[in-house]
Amino acid sequence: MKRSEAGRTILIGAASGALVGVLLAVLYGRWQQQRRIEGARPKSIQPAQVVRLGTSLVAVVRQIAELLS
Helix, strand or coil, per DSSP, at residue 40:
coil
pTM over 0.75: no
> For the stretch 11-32, what's the b/e string if a residue is b when 16 or more beta carbons lie within 10 angstroms of its beta carbon?
eeeeeeeeeeeeeeeeeeeeee
Mean pLDDT, range 1-28, rounded to an integer: 85
Give me the chain's average pLDDT, please. 84
Looking at per-residue pLDDT, the higher value among 36 and 1 belongs to 36
Q: Are 61 and 42 in contact (CB under 8 A)?
A: no
Task: Give the start-to-end residue ranges of the domains of the chain.
Answer: 2-68
Distance between the two ends of the chain, CA-based, in angstroms?
A: 17
